[in-house]
Structure formats: C-alpha cells, structure tokens
Copies of this chain bind each other. A is one copy, B any other.
Amino acid sequence: MTKRNAFYAQSGGVTAVINASACGVIETARKHRNRIGKLYAGRNGIIGALLEDMIDTGKESKAAIAALRHTPGGAFGSARYKLKGMDTHRAEYERLIAVFRAHDIGYFFYNGGGDSADTCYKVSQLSKKMGFPVQAIHVPKTVDNDLPITDTCPGFGSVAKYVAVSTREAALDVASMAKTSTKVFILEVMGRHAGWIAAAGGLAGQGRTQAPHIILFPEIPFDEQKFLQRVKQCVADYDYCVVVVSEGAAYKDGRFLADAGTIDAFGHKQLGGVAETVARMVRDSLGFKYHYAIADYLQRSARHIASKTDVSQAYAVGKAAVEMALAGENAVMPAIIRKSDKPYRWTIGKVPLARVANREKMMPRRFITRDGFGITAACRRYLEPLIRGEDYPPYRNGLPIYVDLKGISVPKKLKTKFML
C-alpha cells in the first residue's frame, strides 16, 4: 500500500453544505493516515492548484474541521473557473498535473457541479497518459439539483428548505395584510435552467388553494395573459396571491423575463430581476399593491435553516469519495441512491464520471401540474424527504458560530509561475 497525498477543491457557486462535504473528505482522510499523507485544499478552488496556492488542511484543528459541517460558504474559497477544452488549452491540464506531481498528489477530490465533473474526468484521463496517474473523484454539489443519476445534489435540499419555509412565512404575512395593503407577493429564487428550487416553494402549501398559488418554472413558457388571469382569480378567491418565480422563467422564444429589453438613462441594459418584471405586469394590468423579495445569495448560504437530510448527504458523499479513492476507484462520483420515499431511505452508489459529465437533469414534465403553475403529488413525493430535519448550528450571542480556518499555505515547490 503506497501512501500518497491528496488534493481537494471547491468549485462553482457555494452552498450551505459544501463545507460539510469538505468535512467528510478531511475527517475520513485523517482516519487513513497510512494511505493518505497530506491533504491539501486549493485556495479559491482549482485556481489554487494552477497557481500552486494550496492550504494544508493538516494545520487545522480537529474542532475547526468538525465545525466545517455547520459552516456555509466555501471555507477554502471556490472559483467560477472552467478548464477549457483539452485540445486548445492542454497547458492548463498539464500544469495541474505538474503541481500534483510536485506534491505527490495521487488523489484528486473535486467538489462541484457538472463542469467540475467534466474536469475531474479529464484530469483522470490525462494524468494516466502523462505517466502520473491521479485518482480523480468527483464530489457532487449544486443547488441547481441538475446532476444526473444521483437522487439529489448536496446543497439543493437546504435551498429547498429555505425557499419552502420562507414562502410559508411570507404567505402568512401577506394573508394578514391583504385586506388593506399588499395583495400580491412575489419571491424570486435561483435556477436559471431548471425549476427545482422554484418547485420547492410549492412545499409551503398543499394544493391550489394554499400559497404559493403560482410557481413560474423555466421549463414552462411564460404566458402573460394566463398568468395575470390566475393572479386576478387568486385575489378574488383568497384575497391575495403568492408567486414563486424562478430567475430562469422565460418566454416561448427563450427570452428571459428578467431581460426587460429596456435601456436606462446611461444607455445600459436594465438590470431588473424577474421579480420586478412580474411585479410591473401585475401593477400595470391589475393595479394590485405588491411586494417582492429577491432571495439571491441568502437562499444558498442559509445554513441556519439547512436540511438535516442535506447535511447528512453532503457529509456522506465527502466520506464516500475518500473511501472510493482508497478502494482504488478512479473517475467516479459517489451518488445518492433513493431506496424508498416513505420513509426516505438512501444509500451511496458509485457512478462513472463518463455518465455524469455534460448531462443536465431537468424537472420532468410530470412534476409540474397541467396548468404549469404548480407541483404534482409525484413532485412532492420526490421533494419532501429532501428538506426533512433541522440541523442547527451552534450560536453565541445570538449569532451562529461559523469557523474561520487558519488557511496556512503549503510551501511552493515549482519554480515556474502560471498565468491564468
């Protein structure tokens, strides 16, 4: 049994639980010191590898690593940096492998979404060709919930819980004010391509009569007249109307609602989000008083209301990634496999990266009601277990205690600098 070092990096938009996966990777690696020597983390994701700017996780205390489990954001820094095509930008991959070779890194754990699964796969292939084989394991993460095969993506369950809880709470607020004030409330949530997050808002109520009365999915072409008609009917029937809108809601021709096409005084394209666009329609056509909220980063960083299921799964895929590496696996991803809905039972399976990379999982049409404004019973059965359970962080003086790592750098070994 050879002993080699390992490299871990966070990729893309962070989540409330990506650090729980980091915790799973690090704690499990520490249990196998005979096989895994040092565990380095990329500072700011894969950029840290390219620049040979790595953090020695071994310098962090046991308590600090344990606290990652309840700390949102990306504790080592993440990056929106996609390695380009291997044909045209081979130098990037070669640099990556040069850094790995210099630090004797035999295990590469890459924690991200579809793009990073693809990178992971390429690193695995290229390193073999270059005579320095690296076992590349992808650790799934994305609030978008769009990775194939896995039942869900760590990060999604907590956003889903945040959106469901927030929708239920705001709906109570609007309901109590509707007689004399706001009648329409719009919550804008993430999801540019897939409506999974918007769908989660549907868990706030049961069926058509309860808020949210309308969900606008990216998957369903937006029909302004039909939408306004429904808003009007809701206000007539229930005195108010709650709308959850995905940032990716779009017209039939693919144009985003958020793309108002208007230009401001400075000649710049209007910034306005989709919530504002929808609010303006309601005001102009129906004249109802409205309010809108844009959850933005709050939704994906809200560790204070994380789903316990999600936290457990995030940790589990981190742990499984290390175990798979130690079992000699390469170019695979630990996936969550659903065994049953009620009670929700799941296990960790193993998926070849070739089957994960470059495939997006969209909401199936059968998860959306026929009128396009709500979620079906099948969708509920899928979503409900994912938001189950609370996993509160510890608090001090009214605020959650989130860990701030020391982040001590690994001394550089390469003479060459790399330009991004």
Contact residues of A with B, CB < 8 Å? 10, 13-14, 16, 44-45, 47, 71-81, 161, 164-166, 168-177, 179-182, 185, 187, 203-204, 262, 264-266, 268, 271-273, 275-276, 279-280, 283-284, 291-298, 300-305, 307, 309, 384, 386-390, 392, 395, 397-400, 402
Contact = CB atoms under 8 A, between A and B. Distances in A.
Nearest to A76: B176
A272 to B, nearest CB: 7
A166 B203 CA distance: 22
Contacts of A81: 180
Nearest to A402: B172
Nearest to A164: B399
Contacts of A303: 169
B44 A165 contact: no
Most chain B CB within 10 A, of A81, A203, A297, is at A297
B79 A179 contact: yes
Nearest to A273: B276
Q: Which interface residue of A262, A305, A398 has the most chain B CB atoms within 10 A?
A: A398
20 contacts: A10-B176, A14-B176, A45-B179, A74-B173, A77-B176, A78-B176, A165-B304, A170-B298, A172-B402, A173-B301, A185-B297, A271-B276, A272-B272, A275-B294, A276-B276, A292-B296, A384-B398, A387-B397, A389-B398, A392-B392
Contacts of A295: 293, 298
A204 B399 contact: yes
Given A185-B297, A204-B399, A398-B384, A280 B271 contact: yes
Contact of A264 (B169, B262, B398): B262
Nearest to A168: B399
Contacts of A13: 177, 181
A387 B399 contact: yes
Contacts of A166: 298, 302
A241 to B, nearest CB: 14
Contacts of A172: 71-73, 301, 402
B304 A177 contact: no
Contacts of A203: 398-399
Contact of A284 (B165, B266, B284): B266
Contact of A80 (B16, B180, B279, B395): B180
B398 A78 contact: no
Given A166-B302, A293-B296, A47 B180 contact: yes
A327 to B, nearest CB: 30
Contacts of A16: 169
Contacts of A395: 390
Contact of A173 (B72, B161, B177, B273): B72
Nearest to A167: B298
Contacts of A171: 73
A170 B301 contact: yes
B398 A164 contact: yes
A388 B398 CA distance: 4
B280 A264 contact: yes
Nearest to A181: B80
A47 B179 contact: yes
Nearest to A277: B271
Contact of A400 (B168, B181, B272, B276): B168
Nearest to A188: B294
Contacts of A390: 392, 395
A302 to B, nearest CB: 6
Given A73-B172, A185-B297, A293-B297, A400 B165 contact: yes
A176 B74 contact: yes
A296 B45 CA distance: 33
Contacts of A74: 173, 176-177
Of A180, A182, A298, A390, most buried by chain B (CB within 10 Å of CB) is A298
A279 B270 CA distance: 11
Contact of A168 (B10, B169, B402): B402
